[in-house]
Each structure stands twice: as C-alpha cells, then as structure tokens.
Amino acid sequence: MHYRLLSALVASAAVTAVEAVEAAAAAAATYDYIVVGSGPGGGPLAANLARAGYSTLLIEAGGDEGDNPTYRDIQNFNEAANDEASRWDFWVKHSDDPERELKFGHTTYDTGDGTFYIGTKPPAGAKHLGIQYPRAAVLGGCAMHNGAVCSLPQDDDWNLIVKATGDTSWEASKMREYLKRIEKNDYLPAGNAAHGYTGWLATSVGDASFAKNVSLPGTKILRKLAELTGQDPDAVGTLVNSDILGDYKNRDEISSFYNMVSHADSQGKRSSPNNYIRATLADPAKYPLTVKLHTLVTKVLFTNSTGGMANAPPRAIGVEVMEGASVYKADPKHIAGTKGPVSQILAKREVIISGGAFNSPQILKLSGIGPREELEKFKIPVVKDLPGVGERLADNYEGSILALGAVPVDSGLITLIFRTPSAPTKNRNIFTWCGAFSFEGFWPGFPAYYGPNQWTCAMVHIGPKSQRGTVKLTSADPQDVPDINFNFFKDNGATDLHELVEAANLLRESWKSAGAPATPFQELHPCPGELGKSANCTDAAQAEFFKLQAYSHHASSTCAIGGDDDKLAVLDSKFRVRGVSGLRVVDASAFPVVPGAFPVLPTMMLSAKATEDIIADAKKSS
C-alpha cells in the first residue's frame, strides 16, 4: 500500500497565547528552573513550579496546537497522531535480526517519488525506514495526540521503587494522592474518596448503555467474556460502568469490565498539559512562567564548581538551544541542512529534562552523561560515566485480533482487564478493548479501514518480561535521531508470547457467541479464515504472529530510577541524575518498568510527585 509523504515546511500565521509571551525569554537570560519538554512530565511540572513562585522557563521543540480541533476534539486522535503539524517520526527496530525486521507487516519505505510504501514487498530502489513510532512535538507532548486512555499502574509498579531505593514516599497508597491532586473528575458524584474534583486534569467516561440490550451481538460477546473471566453474565449492564480508577481491595487481581476513562471533559474536549500551561500563562496572578516554542535543546551546560566546594560534582547551570521550527530530523517537515541560531540560557536552581523515553537519554548523552564508551565514540567530553542512560527501554506489547462480521457488529466499546492462566503472579496481565474499529499499530496513514463490518479486540500486555531495549546515539549532532531498538521478546520471550496467545484464544472464544446475523466472522489475523475453523490457528502459529507483528507506543525506562547498588540506575528516588547536581529527569523514562497498561496518567502523577520533591529541596536550600 502507498501513502503520500507529508508536505514541506509550513508556517502558521496564528498567534497563540503562548507565542505572545515568548518575547519574555529574550528579556531574561536566567531562570530559577528550566524545564525541557512540555509533555505529561514536564508541562505540569513547569506550571506547578511557576505557581509556587519560581521563575520557570518551559522549552518545547514544537508549536502550540491547543486551539486546533484535530487535537482539541478527542474523537480526532487518529488524525492528530498522523498530523504533520506536530509529528516526529522515529523509525525504530524490534530486534537485531534484519530478516525478522523485514517481516513486520507495516514496515515503511521511502519510495523516492513522494510516497511511502508500507508492507513486506517494497518496490525496487525504495529506502528502508523501519517501524514508525510517532511522537508529538507540540505544547502538551504526546498527551495531545494519544487516545487519552487513563489507567493506573499495578501497585507493584510503584512499590518496586520503594524496594529498590528505600524511599517510602513511592508507596502505591501514597501515589494515589497525586491522582486526587491533579484530577477534575467529571463522571462520579463529588465526594468519592478515591478521586479528585478540583485539579487541572478533566476525566470522563463514555456511554455504556449498549450493555443493557441483550439482543446486540456486542452484548452477547460481552456476556460470554463475563463467563470466561469469572463475572456474572446477567450483571454486565452494571459491570461495564465499573470505575477503572477506583480504589478496590486486591484491585490488581480482579478480572473485570470497566467504563474506559479519558483525559477529556464530558463534551469530548481533550484535557492535557496544554490546557494547564495555557491557564497558568493567562492567570491574573501572573505566575512567572515563560514558554519558548520551536526550540530544540542541544545539551545541558555544566560547571565543576558548586559554591567553591572542593571535589564537588559537576553542576547543571543551563542549556544550549537551537531555535527554529522543524530543526530536528525526526520532524517530517525538516529540510536537509536547516539549522537555527544557537544560544545559551541559564538556570539558578535546576535543569529538568522531560523529553520522553527517546529524547531524554539523547539529551543526557549529548551533554556528556552516559556510557563512557559510547560518548567517547562520538568525541563527546564525559561529564559523568553513567552506563544506564539509554538502557532498559521498555514498553507494553500490543497486538490485536481483527475480523469481519457477516454484517456490521452492533456494539458499544467493551473494556476488560483480565488475567490469563499462565500469568506469573495473581495480577491481571491483559488490558483489552473491543469494538467496531481496527487498530494494528502505527504507520503513515494508519489505521486501515476494512469496512463497516470490521471488529477488533486490541490488547495491551501488562508487565512484559522479555524486553531489553536501547536508545543509542548515531552522532554528536543534536539534530540527528538516535538508534532505537526495543529488542522485543529478547529475554524469556516465550513466556510473554504465551500470555498473548492465551488472551487471543479467550477473546476469540467470546466472539462465537455474537450469533446471527453477525456470524460467521472472517478472521483476518492472527488466524486467517472463518473464525474457529482455521487449520493453522495453533498456539505456535499465533505466537509466531505476535513475535513478528506485535507493536507498541508506551516507551519508558531509559533513565530509570534505581537503588545505589544498581549500576544501571540513572536517577535516585527524587529524580536527581546520579553523579551530578542541579539536574533531574521527570518523564516516563524515569519509571523502572513500563507503568501498567497506559503510561500517560502515571506520568502526570509522577510529575506531581516531582513537583513536591523539587520544591522541598528548594526550601531546604533557601
């Protein structure tokens, strides 16, 4: 299949509230704090620091699309992820095996004639790009182009940090307080002790009333799923409205339906760090927040002196930046050879990197913090030999079962979290949502549309055990994109694959209950043919399918928090980069493991905790 390449550099004539305050950056060369990246980690943090009275500069490589309905209206999230106005294309690998990589069904090639080819049989002369992993260079980060799904990590994901560092402030029960602090709940009556109602992040749910109509094919599937996961089929009309963010005893062990929560208001308008940043800028209190758009941070600046103390660690004192739209080569609008003016901006207190799981380790390495051998390879002066930077890249495995009904399958959205029989603990390990859509990962122009009869159960694997991914420099040029390899199924791969196959088998079994006229289903993958009659629908064949075709979009852990005895730990429990001072990383790269099924809400909670830690340190030093 072919898709047209995106156009050359375009400029917007719109002047936003953010752009109007950019002039302030030129007037002040020094800030208390510099925050690099405006996504779920950095955006709220910068706003919080400014609201606490600290002069804060928030640097974003992209622009502001907060008034653009493609981003503002949550129903347009597929268009947002494809939009050239914000998209950065990272062409990643899933393994070190070149032959295996070429078997990924949505491998992308540049044909050289202004189009992409997506597939496994490229035309002669096409340039292999890899597997598209779009990120959002825009005010608000990836919370501006995602599906806005909100879920919480397993308690074990928080408690893992306590075990590694001894810092009890990370206990799961305490981390829930940060959810309550940021949330503006729009779907439950005020007073629910598990939720917040005065925060900056709106949360809402959709209409699940379809589940009360037992004649619908979707409701028949729902009832069978209830039976297969130990729930009461006769209670599905109520179960589908269970609170996915609720505080239940043994929550992580309960296989249950839920009403999917979105970070959006009840009118379907996206709620994100963009809203919070803009509200902070517009507040009559005139908080000392400055936002600098279209600015790429090229490195962190250091001094070896901290007040004249002997043998003091290097201290971050600011950043070097390159100004200009689309100067980073992941931007599809980048024009070869384009550069921007380079300057320096200073921080009196700290520099905080929040560039995400790909760019945060890249910035650290360009600044001289990372594995010595890799830095010396590119003649980057070593500030601190920190071997864990760019290691332990993690993600959820994702896959889907896709079929065509005999007629359109009448249903609402089914959301289910459940445990497969071989899961290594009592905890749930699969998050699935089913409905009349298709979702098979990411490529230019995704998703494919298979007509009105399409039916999918998409799966997110919680707690993958077999990844050992890396983010490595390709040069010392900050405009270059790093080499990203997720190393899918590298360690204990058979275990994770078996869990995915078990999940697929359970979901497929439920489809048989849809009944006429929706059945028979014609499955497209992973078992092509009439549902239940494919001769090659063995566990081994499905495992091979998922090994080659699994995808992901929840990258984390490349600057992970860890204990003093962990040689790959990059951060301490207060987000401080080890071996230097005045420098922290606050984004999904800080998680030791990918947090639950969807990391956006956990990252916003992490940002609220970082706010508290940073301000506490500031007060100690005042």
- Distance CA(535)–CA(403), nearest Å, equals 16
Angle at 380 (CA atoms; ends 378, 381), nearest 5 degrees: 150
138 is in an annotated binding site: yes
Cα angle, residue 96 at apex, residues 95 and 100 outer, rounded to 5° = 65
CA-to-CA separations, 610 to 135, 362, 432, 572, in angstroms, rounded: 23, 21, 31, 12
CA quadruple 450, 451, 453, 456: dihedral positive or negative? positive
Continuous H helices in 68-127:
69-72, 77-82, 98-101
Q: Measuring CA to CA, how many Å separate 309 from each of 304, 312, 313, 346, 578?
A: 10, 6, 9, 21, 18
**Count of beta carbons in the 10 Å neighbourhood of residue 162:** 16
Residue 514 marked as a ligand binder: no
* Rounded distance between C-alpha atoms, residue 256 and residue 366, angstroms: 45
Q: Confirm whether residue 147 is marked as ligand binding.
A: yes
| 395 touches 552 (CB < 8 A) | yes
What is the C-alpha to C-alpha distance for residues 564 and 576, in angstroms, rounded to an integer? Answer: 12
The answer to whether the annotation marks 569 as part of a ligand binding site is no
Say how far apart CA 261 and CA 532 lie, in whole Å: 33
How far apart CA 70 and CA 78 sit, in angstroms, is: 9
CA distance 348 to 122: 53
Residue 291, annotated as binding a ligand: no
* Rounded CA separation 355/491 (Å): 28
342 is in an annotated binding site: no
**H-helix or E-strand spanning residue 343:** strand 342-353
- Contact present, 240 and 258 (Cβ < 8 Å): yes
Pairing mode of beta strands 369-370, 384-385? parallel
Feature table: binding site: 138, 146-149, 297
As annotated, the binding site for FAD includes 138, 146-149, 297
